[in-house]
């Protein structure tokens, strides 16, 4: 399918994708596929005002009814999965299977959120005072601003939006300026669901196109009760500080430097498959990408040559072509960062396998690289940093405690895993003295989380949680309520506070 046909199939009319100041290129071949109108500061403020008005209505709609809208969004996503998945691949460069998988994540979280709309449970609490009842209730929080990154251009929006909508919050989406088309196409899908729903307030779901200044304005505005931001640690530090200064609520999904420990008892066939998908999927441009491989000394020489042989045969090329497993980097900046990291690793004593730029003749304006394996003598500073490219650093260990220490000795704390068939090793890894990450897996890689569990991490990953489990609470406010149904007024803690009787 031609690039223009992909845009049309996704519901993007020529009037939407032409004549603007924001040029959108595809990393597949570097050509411009759209030029979009950018929103102004005044547009951002108008969107916030409209969303606030929508909140005043939407919070009064019963939660199961709000869930019906999300069910309709899920239906529309199912009907448009192929078109949107192809656009994801075109715009961010991930292979088509991954693009389709990302849309499936959106469908899955819609299904989850529909059920959640009938389970926004509070608590009944025993009161110490006679004739009193206590309970805990959850209420809609307010406008939710969602800032997303290029590498997963649509699924993180839906992780937030599906829950925010059932919780009673309107959403404003600021996508990456590198991947705005997928956001506009998703809004077309949402608009269809809104028409079918019938009586949703105007401004319930909006998209703002532009650069970092729009994200900054949303973060600074007291009208945005919740700001959910996905991106780099540096970006998250800025957003978190700005939102905290005004006592707003932020949900931060930031950097990852994810590791796998491969123990002597590991099933190496499974381990190799998990390593390859986790390390080279999305051309190493996932927050959950496997970046560090910590291998036991006894199996090191059996695993690494096997891994190198698999890397050497990886199909690299156009992500829209069947059979491709590694697509392009997003842009030249990503390649520059990759080269700099490999140079530093070499200077630290590392041995590099792969990492070259390829397909220059076929795609002179795009950036395709062979994924790199770097055998390191120790975990140096460059290994502790996240480079958003397909670089896998390999380290040796002898004792599990040593492996866990290496694993945890990085600023980030998103996803982690161990390959072992020894229950003592796996349970230690999952214990309080094991992985310090928000996600810990056994015998599966760190990449490819299911929506049923809360997604997010610790330390420089930001501490946010999205998607499943009780992540819905991030979009609501808690209220403790006490009801006195007696004719007395006892005080808590047995306090006596008798006032003088009023004279007649």
Pairing verdict, β 171-174 and 205-207: parallel
Q: Which of 361, 335, 441, 352 is nearest to 392 (CA)?
A: 352
d(CA 200, CA 135): 30
Q: Given the residues 253, 386, 425, 466, select the one marked as catalytic.
A: 253
287 is catalytic: yes
Q: Given the residues 92, 110, 167, 287, select the one marked as catalytic.
A: 287
Are 145 and 134 in contact by the 8 Å Cβ rule? The answer is: no
450 is catalytic: no
502: alpha, beta or left? (left if phi > 0; alpha if psi -120 to 50): beta
Q: Residues 14-23: contacts with CB within 8 Å, 24+ apart?
A: 16/184, 17/181, 17/184, 22/177, 22/180, 22/209, 22/210
Residue written as token pair 């709609």: 61
Pairing verdict, β 458-459 and 351-353: unpaired
Interhelix angle 180-197/155-166, rounded to 10 degrees, is: 30
Strand partners, 124: 135
Q: Which of 389, 419, 387 is nearest to 403 (CA)?
A: 419
Helix (H, G, I), strand (E, B) or coil at 124: strand
d(CA 238, CA 248): 14
Active site residues: 253, 287
């Amino acid at each position: 399918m031609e690039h223009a046909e992909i845009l049309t199939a996704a519901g993007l009319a020529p009037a939407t994708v032409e004549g603007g100041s924001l040029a959108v290129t595809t990393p597949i071949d570097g050509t411009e596929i759209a030029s979009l109108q950018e929103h102004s500061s005044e547009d951002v403020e108008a969107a916030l005002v409209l969303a606030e008005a929508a909140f005043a209505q939407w919070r009064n709609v019963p939660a199961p009814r709000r869930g019906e809208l999300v069910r309709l969004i899920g239906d529309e996503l199912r009907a448009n999965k192929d078109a949107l998945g192809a656009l994801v691949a075109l715009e961010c460069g991930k292979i088509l299977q991954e693009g389709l998988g990302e849309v499936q994540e959106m469908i899955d979280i819609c299904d989850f959120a529909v059920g959640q709309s009938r389970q926004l449970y509070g608590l009944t609490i025993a009161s110490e005072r006679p004739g009193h009842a206590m309970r805990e209730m959850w209420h809609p929080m307010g406008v939710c601003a969602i800032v997303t990154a290029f590498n997963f251009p649509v699924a993180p929006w839906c992780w937030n939006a599906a829950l925010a909508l059932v919780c009673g919050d309107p959403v404003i989406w600021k996508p990456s300026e590198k991947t705005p088309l997928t956001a506009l196409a998703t809004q077309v899908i949402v608009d269809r669901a809104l028409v079918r729903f019938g009586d949703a307030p105007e401004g319930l779901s909006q998209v703002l196109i532009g650069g970092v200044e729009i994200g900054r304005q949303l973060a600074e505005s007291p009208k945005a009760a919740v700001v959910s931001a996905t991106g780099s640690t540096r970006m998250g530090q800025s957003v978190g500080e700005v939102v905290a200064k005004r006592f707003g609520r932020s949900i931060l999904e930031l950097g990852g430097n994810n590791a796998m420990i491969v123990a002597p008892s590991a099933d190496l066939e499974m381990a190799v498959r998990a390593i390859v998908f986790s390390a080279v999927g999305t051309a190493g441009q996932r927050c959950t990408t496997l970046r560090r491989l910590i291998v036991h000394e006894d199996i090191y020489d059996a695993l690494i040559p096997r891994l190198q042989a698999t890397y050497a045969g990886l199909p690299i090329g156009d992500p829209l072509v069947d059979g491709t497993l590694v697509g392009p980097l997003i842009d030249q900046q990503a390649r520059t960062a990759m080269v700099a990291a490999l140079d530093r690793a070499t200077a630290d004593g590392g041995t590099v396998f792969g990492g070259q730029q390829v397909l220059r003749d076929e795609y002179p304006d795009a950036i395709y690289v062979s994924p790199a394996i770097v055998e390191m003598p120790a975990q140096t500073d460059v290994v502790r940093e996240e480079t958003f490219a397909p670089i896998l650093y390999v380290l040796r260990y002898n004792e599990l405690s040593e492996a866990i220490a290496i694993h945890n000795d990085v600023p980030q704390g998103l996803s982690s895993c161990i390959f072992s068939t020894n229950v003592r090793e796996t349970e230690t890894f999952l214990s309080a003295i094991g992985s310090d990450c928000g996600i810990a897996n056994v015998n599966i890689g760190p990449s490819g989380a299911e929506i049923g569990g809360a997604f997010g991490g610790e330390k420089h990953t930001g501490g946010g949680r999205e998607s499943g489990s009780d992540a819905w609470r991030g979009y609501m406010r808690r209220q403790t309520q006490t009801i006195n149904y007696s004719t007395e007024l006892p005080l808590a803690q047995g306090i006596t506070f008798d006032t003088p009787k009023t004279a007649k």
